[in-house]
Amino acid sequence: MIDARRALACALPFLAACSNGAQWRMEDAAAADSLELQLDASGVTREIEYHVAPGTVPDAVHEAMNALHPGGEAVGAEREYVGELLCWELTKVVDGREVEAMFLEDGTLYAEEVQLDAEAVPEAVRAALEDSEWGAVTSWEEIRDAERAVVRYHAKTERNGRRYKLLLETDGALTAVFREVAAEVEVPVR
């Protein structure tokens, strides 16, 4: 019988070494409350998010988030890498809307995602998903860069009990669709 920990320990370095793949950080994985992975069409790990407690995020990041989005409460946090660049993401609920902002360790804004009502989404973007094969839209987010300019939109949809995340450009062009799949990851800690 194959030892699952040993098999995963052998597989993780292989996954991390894949061309253009996101680098697994075993210490971060072992310390995380949960993980979120994004794969590309060929199966390469493009992004790994290590979900952590908001209290583990640097003070400079909390201060920057509170200045950017006053009020509300931090309800989630992530430690993630963009290439080799360490970023911290805080999630807050402010005035009933979820706001996620990603910062460098010193509190410099890197990007943010802001939940929107459908009416606030441009018509061209909403129209791109009318009668969509991906199901009904359950939420919208606008994606902003470090200068807070809107660069794209995310739509979350559901169809036949399956959840999807769709990426759309500001003109409504659909550029990617990801299916959200629940998974169990076993990370060796000893």
Please say if the pLDDT value at position 173 is more than 90: yes
Residue-level pLDDT at 146: 97
Q: Order of strands across the sheet with 136-144? A: 34-39, 45-52, 73-82, 85-94, 97-104, 109-116, 136-144, 150-159, 162-168, 174-180
**Per-residue pLDDT, 12:** 46
Q: Could you report the per-residue pLDDT of 14-72, keeping only the tens digit for each?
A: 444 444 567 788 999 999 999 998 888 898 888 889 999 999 999 999 999 999 999 98
Across the range 174-180, mean pLDDT stands at 96
Q: pLDDT category, 82, cuts 50, 70, 90?
A: confident
What predicted TM-score, i.e. pTM, was given to this entire model? 0.83
The CATH code belonging to domain 51-180 is 3.10.450.360
Assess whether pLDDT exceeds 60 at residue 79.
yes
Checking if the pLDDT of 1 tops 50, the result is no
